[in-house]
Structure 1
Amino acid sequence: MVEITLVRHGQAQTGATDEHSYDKLSDLGHQQAQWLGDYFAETGRSFDHVISGTLNRQRDTAGVIAGALSLETRQDARLNELDYFGLSQSLKETHALDIPTDRASFVAHVPQVLSAWQAGDIHDHLEGFDAFQGRIEAMISEAEALGGRVMMVTSGGVIGMTMRLLLQLEVNAYANVLLNIMNTSVHRFVKTGDSLALAMFNGVPHLEAKDRVGARTYI
């Protein structure tokens, strides 16, 4: 049996303009992670492997969830997020594309960034689109090889790329998927025959209670 569960990290520091400032869970982000860990514990769902990226927001989210389940975690940098701030700065310098300051402008910005990135219209020192796609593909293969129930705590761009790879999405569809991924949302693939089939997308069962509506965040 192979079951791969991807979890997006909890809310980080909204309003940040660089990766260093962004890469820390907010108080709500910690709470979201705790609620998800408690939900898994209460419903009897456990995992054979828990892997996170090495970014603070990913590692800390995984630690809270795994703590609720009395599980160990390990880190793998291949689960780290795409360099959105670097890509945005590159396009600002080369294409005069303004960096977004609110969600509305962010929604318009992401497809432009991903399209330019795929086309190679970015600074050479940044990770290329194909390289990013390749490391996510490698992590999917590793999770399959591990077998059992594998949880990978990562970020929206990684989850969106996983959807792109396994569902054969074009880059605009990839952007649409990425934009709708909530903090601490759950995404699950189950191996059926030789293929991984999507079993859950953007699930937030731990945030369904009426008093947690305000805790459903995207950024």
Structure 2
Amino acid sequence: MGELYLVRHGQANSGATTEEDYDRLSGLGHAQARRLGDWMRNHEGPFDQVLCGSMRRHRETAKGMGYAPDHIDARLNEMEYFALVRDMEVNHGIRPPASSEDFADHMTQTLNAWEQTTIAGAEPFSTFETRIQAAVSGATKPGKRVLCITSAGVIAMVMRGALGLSIEQMAHVLLPIYNSSLHRFRIRPEGTFLLTFNGIPHLDAPDLADQRTHL
């Protein structure tokens, strides 16, 4: 039996309007990563392998947690959301979300359109799904504990595979994923099984409520 731990990066530059500008941790994001790393060292044993997406926010989170990745794997990179947003406006006349409520509806519409190939983004939905499945399959080994630092869309896609989620269900799983959250899976020959979703034990204290962020 193996174990797979997925960590979402700390808060990035949430006010950005481009992928490049978004791809860096905020001051709070760095603090979240440090707190999670401290918690992991106090409550979890060592990992047999540490993997990290190649995005700056992934690498900064790994460093803040105190982990030196054994491998940087671009297959663990996030979907290019801003490209999808542009396609939704050009192809469907749906403007970018103006509020958190709009964001929830927009994400569901966007993932639906992407899966149905009425928008393309930077890569097809099928390619995004396949590369994540390949990365997870290659990382998980019987009896091994593996840590992956990645993004919310990747975590939601792993959840889709493990739980058989529809695209709408995947969107609603993606939306509440906290920055620096922990997601744990048990790997068995018969499949991947969820043990922990969206854990933030390092931010549970009441005085840290303002550090619990989604964006």
Q: Which moved more, 1:55-64 or 1:186-195?
A: 186-195
Alignment counterpart, residue 130 of structure 1, candidates 126, 129, 136: 126
Structure-2 residue corresponding to 1:78: 75
Please state if 1:99 is matched with 2:120.
no
Q: Which runs of 4+ in 1 moved over 6 A?
A: none
Q: Which moved more, 1:88-97 or 1:57-66?
A: 57-66
In 1: Cα distance, 2:2 partner to 2:142 partner: 8
1:1-219 correspondence runs (5 A)? 1-67=1-67, 71-123=68-120, 126-145=122-141, 147-219=143-215
Tell me, yes or no, if the aligned pair for 1:182 and 1:218 is still in contact at 8 Å: yes
Give, as a single letter, the amino acid of the residue that structure 1 aligns with 2:2: V
In 2: Cα distance, 1:72 partner to 1:96 partner: 42
In 1: Cα distance, 2:19 partner to 2:205 partner: 32
- Find the residue that maps to 2:146 and give its secondary structure: strand
- Find the residue that maps to 1:145 and give its secondary structure: coil
Give, as a single letter, the amino acid of the residue that structure 2 aligns with 1:54: S
Tell me, yes or no, if the aligned pair for 1:50 and 1:66 is still in contact at 8 Å: no
Gaps of 5+ in 1: none
Tell me, yes or no, if the aligned pair for 2:156 and 2:173 is still in contact at 8 Å: yes
Gaps of 5+ in 2: none
Normalised by the length of structure 2, the TM-score is: 0.95
Q: Could you give the per-residue CA deviations for residues 19-50 of structure 1, whole angstroms, max 9, x where no partner exists?
A: 01100000000000000000011124321111
Tell me, yes or no, if the aligned pair for 1:32 and 1:184 is still in contact at 8 Å: yes
Q: Could you give the per-residue CA deviations for residues 52-96 of structure 1, whole angstroms, max 9, x where no partner exists?
A: 1100001110122134xxx54421000000111000101101111
- Find the residue that maps to 2:165 and give its secondary structure: coil
Tell me, yes or no, if the aligned pair for 1:66 and 1:73 is still in contact at 8 Å: no
Q: What is the aligned-residue identity percentage?
A: 43
Aligned pair in 2 of structure 1 residues 136, 146: CA closer, same or farther (>3 Å)?
A: farther
In 2: Cα distance, 1:147 partner to 1:76 partner: 21
Q: Could you give the per-residue CA deviations for residues 98-154 of structure 1, whole angstroms, max 9, x where no partner exists?
A: 11133121111100000000000114x720010000001101111223751101110
Tell me, yes or no, if the aligned pair for 1:189 and 1:199 is still in contact at 8 Å: yes
In 1: Cα distance, 2:53 partner to 2:69 partner: 14
Normalised by the length of structure 1, the TM-score is: 0.94
How many equivalent pairs are there? 215
